[in-house]
Amino acid sequence: MPTFPVRIDSRLPQVGTTIFTVMSRLAQECGAINLSQGFPDFNAEDVLFERVAHWMRAGFNQYAPMAGVGPLREAIAHKVAALYGTAYDPETEITVTAGATQALFTAVAALVHPGDEVIVFEPVYDSYAPAIELQGGRVVRLQLAAPGYRPDWDAVAAAITPRTRMIMINSPHNPTATVWTADDLAGLAAATRGTGIVVVSDEVYEHIVFDGRRHESCARDAELAARSVIVSSFGKTYHITGWKVGYVVAPRELMAEFRKVHQFNVFTVNTPVQLALADYMADASRHEGLAAFYQAKRDFFGAGLAGSRFELLPSAGTYFQLARYRAICDEPDTAFVERLTRDSGVAAIPVSAFFADGRDERVLRFCFAKNEATLAAACERLCRV
C-alpha cells in the first residue's frame, strides 16, 4: 500500500476513533456482554421487513424525492401534530434524513458560519462538537453537573453573546438519562427570547420517557418551535439503528436552509425503507408502547443490580442507566471500564468520554436495550464485581 507523501493538516486534529467503536471492539475481542454502544440486541417486527420487501418488489427502488417520500412526511406530520399539537407542512417543513447524526450535522452546516458560537451542554453526545468545529464555529460548553444534571439558565444567559448562533439540546438525554421538564423549556424560551438563536433539539429518544413523565418537545411550545430544528430517529423508535433513517421538522425558513445542504450531502434516503416506515407508523401504538417496553427493561436491569456495589442514578428516559462505582474502587472510569470488560465480561461507556476535558465523575453508562437473558447474564457478572 503506498503512503500519502505529505503531512495532513487535519480538520479535526483532536478527534480519534469514538469511544463507542472502541468499547464495542473491546467487548467483541474479550467476548464480553456489550452494554456499551446504544443499540438493541433484539429484532424489529417482521411486518416491518415485509413492508420493505413489498415496496422493493413493487419497483420502488429509485431515488426518492429529496425531502423524503410523500407518505412518510405525511405520517410524520400526523404524528407530531397528534403528540405535540403543532402542524408542520410536509411540503416545506419536514425532511427525511439518513439518521439523526446526518440531520444534526446538516443543521449545523446549514446554519453556522465561521466564528459563530454554539452552546452545548456537557456531558454531550459526541457528534455535536466536531460538526460545529468543521464549520469554523466555536463550541461553548456549559455543564450539567452530577448527580442531577440540570441545565443552569443563569449560566446560559451569561454565555449568550452577539455571536451565539445556536444552542444544541438533547432530551431525553444521552448519556445522563435525564428528561427536561416544562420549566426547562421555559428557561430555554426565556434565554433565547429576542435573539436570533436557533435551537437544534435532538429528540431521538422522544418516545422513551418513564414513570408517567411526558416528553417536552420543542414542538409543544409555539415560541420555541418557531426557532427550533427538531431531530428524531427511527433507529431508536423501531429498533433499527442500522437502517440510519431519521427526520427533521423546522419552520420553513430554517428548513429551506437545511435542504440546501441536505440535497448535496445526502440528496435522498433509501426509498423502500421510507415507504415501509410510512406504513408502519400508521399504528401509533408502536411508538406509544415504547416507554412501557423500555421501563420494564430499566426496572429489570435495576432489580438485577440491587445486590451489586454499583450505585444507580435515576433513569428518567432513554435506554441508558448511569451507575457510580465508588464502593468498588477509585480508578479512573476509562481504566475501570476496561478492567470490567476484560475481567468481568461486561462492557459499558465511561461518562468522561462525553466531556471535552475528560472530567471524570467515576460514572459508567450501561445500555439496557437488550433481551432479558442478556441483562440477567450481565447483572450476574456485575454483582460479582
Ligand X SMILES: Cc1ncc(COP(=O)(O)O)c(C=O)c1O
What is the binding site for ligand X (CB under 6 A)?
Answer: 38, 99-101, 125, 170, 174, 202, 204, 233, 235, 241, 244, 246
* Closer to ligand X by Cβ: residue 124 or 379: 124
Q: Are 163 and 306 in contact (CB under 8 A)?
A: no
Minimum distance of ligand X from residue 105's CB (angstroms): 9
* Closer to ligand X by Cβ: residue 176 or 341: 176
Q: Are 350 and 334 in contact (CB under 8 A)?
A: yes
**Nearest residue to 208 via CA among 308, 289, 114:** 289
Q: Are 230 and 201 in contact (CB under 8 A)?
A: yes
Residue 102, C-beta contacts closer than 8 angstroms, at least 6 positions apart: 244, 246, 265, 266
* Closer to ligand X by Cβ: residue 179 or 304: 179
Q: Are 241 and 235 in contact (CB under 8 A)?
A: yes
* Closer to ligand X by Cβ: residue 139 or 345: 139
Residue 320, C-beta contacts closer than 8 angstroms, at least 6 positions apart: 38, 174, 175, 176, 177, 365, 366, 367, 368
Minimum distance of ligand X from residue 369's CB (angstroms): 10
* Closer to ligand X by Cβ: residue 337 or 367: 367
* Closer to ligand X by Cβ: residue 125 or 336: 125
Minimum distance of ligand X from residue 314's CB (angstroms): 18
* Closer to ligand X by Cβ: residue 133 or 202: 202
CA quadruple 344, 348, 351, 352: dihedral positive or negative? positive
Minimum distance of ligand X from residue 385's CB (angstroms): 26
Q: Which residue is nearest to ligand X (CB)?
A: 99
Distance CA 143, CA 365 (A): 18
Please identify which residue in the block is written with the cell numbers 475501570.
Answer: 336
Minimum distance of ligand X from residue 320's CB (angstroms): 8
Minimum distance of ligand X from residue 215's CB (angstroms): 14
Minimum distance of ligand X from residue 97's CB (angstroms): 8
Distance CA 69, CA 71 (A): 6
Q: Are 147 and 180 in contact (CB under 8 A)?
A: no
Residue 264, C-beta contacts closer than 8 angstroms, at least 6 positions apart: none
